[in-house]
Amino acid sequence: MKKFMLILIPLILTGSFFFSGTVTCSAAQDPNDPYGPDSVLFISRQLLIPCPPEGGQAVLPLYFRNDTPIIGLQIPLSWTGPAILDSASFFGSRINYVVNKQVNIDNLNKKVLVTAQVGVQQSISDGRGMLVKFYFSTIDTGDLIIDTTAYSPLLQEHLLFTREDSITYTPEYRRGEFHLTCVHDPNDPGAPDSVSFSQALAYYPIPGGPFAYYPLPSGQGKVFAHIRVSNSDSVGALFIPLTTSGPVEFDSISFRESIFGDSVWIIKGDSLEPKGLIALIPVNDPPISPSAGLFLTLCFTLTDNTGLVILDSTFTPPMSHLLFTTTEPQGYCPQFTAGEYPVIKYWPGDVTFDGELVDVSDIVYLLNYIYKDGPTPPHPISADVNGPDRLIDIEDVVYLINYLYRHGSNPLPGDPW
């Protein structure tokens, strides 16, 4: 007999901000740096990730401090370790107001360059706080070390702040040392089980055409949060209570491409307020056999074109506890990595993702990718322009050529799937 359980869990918004004691490794203060030494730093810490071969996510904020106003910064970084840099977000940053700011990600060489120039805008006033958040996909346990390339002979690889009189200087840098570990509940048989999110971005399409920059926002953004589960042994039930926060409205649940098909029972809280709770209890009869992959997808509509969507677990036993059960049944806690989805604006057809309107360079990039083994588009969603068919192929090239040169229709938003 199948059992029904209905749980209602109060909205809990959690946020934590840890500072751990670490040692600053500093060179002598740059003589052009007024007053005390300015700095760029990570807060090193241990990060819990799903055990391999499951992938997880590591969200790493970079901080900076300046004791006099600055008008620009250039921060070149390189990293070592089992991680891929998916994206970066300035949401919540001290320089979020600066229009001319960029993050160039080079996963091939494991380098990333953060730059900002205030131009005619207000200077970055003295202070301390977050600069940018990096979103890494982790592929293994181990150490993720983020250092600077400040001592490279290349000028564009120097670590620099720019004073209001345009003189540059090198602030101190404290490298980030992140220990990626995974834990194993002793009641969890076999390999550690896990619950994680497999896609780290929320996309907000801005329609193309001559008025693309005005008015903003326009179009409708979506977040598809893919929940992955992995269970090494048969399980009786999965209890995955979740909270959401950020600029989203819950839309629907999809089982498209789920490893379970639609054969599991889903019982959830019966009201889904904005920013509210989602609780899911799938029960399979007989037990769910060992599996790993996409469980289900939560579909949200974005209510803003900036911000951060966070999906976390409530972790409050007994009713809203993240829990798997064995067939005994014995409960245990799988590994869990919260999902953070920075909202990224994009212009459909901006294949190069340079924030410019569609031009010939986007077509060239696409042709290189399709026919000459060129690099994958930075965000494939911007290249699937012919109505989302989830293929990036000659049809998209033809569509873009028609749009640019033959008064064809505007490029269409892709599918964030």
Contact with Ca ion (CB under 5 A): which of 232, 291, 306, 325? 232
Contact with Ca ion (CB under 5 A): which of 54, 312, 340, 350? 350
CA distance 406 to 398: 11
Among 397, 375, 401, 368, CA closest to 384:
397
Question: Which residue lies nearer to Ca ion by CB, 96 or 325?
Answer: 325
Radius of gyration for the alpha carbons in the chain, expressed in angstroms and rounded: 23
Closest distance of CB 259 from Ca ion, Å: 16
DSSP string, 190-217: SSPPEEEES---EEEE---STTTTSSSS
CB distance 119 to 184 below 8 Å = no
Query: Is residue 326 part of the contact set for Ca ion (CB under 5 A)?
Result: no
Structure letter (DSSP) for residue 51:
P
CA distance 393 to 241: 39
Total binding residues for Ca ion by CB under 5 A?
Answer: 19
Q: What's the distance, Cα to Cα, between the start and end of the chain in Å?
A: 35
CA distance 228 to 390: 20
Contact with Ca ion (CB under 5 A): which of 22, 30, 48, 67? 67
**Contacts (CB under 5 A) with Ca ion, residues 246-285:** none
Question: Which residue lies nearer to Ca ion by CB, 106 or 389?
Answer: 389
Question: Which residue lies nearer to Ca ion by CB, 129 or 190?
Answer: 190
Contact with Ca ion (CB under 5 A): which of 44, 170, 335, 386? 386
Closest distance of CB 404 from Ca ion, Å: 11
Query: Is residue 408 part of the contact set for Ca ion (CB under 5 A)?
Result: no
Query: Is residue 384 part of the contact set for Ca ion (CB under 5 A)?
Result: yes
Contact with Ca ion (CB under 5 A): which of 33, 54, 172, 340? 33
CA distance 259 to 257: 6
**Residue whose Cβ sits closest to Ca ion:** 232
Point out which residues bind Ca ion (CB under 5 A): 33-35, 38, 67, 188, 190, 193, 232, 350, 352, 354, 356, 362, 384, 386, 389, 391, 396
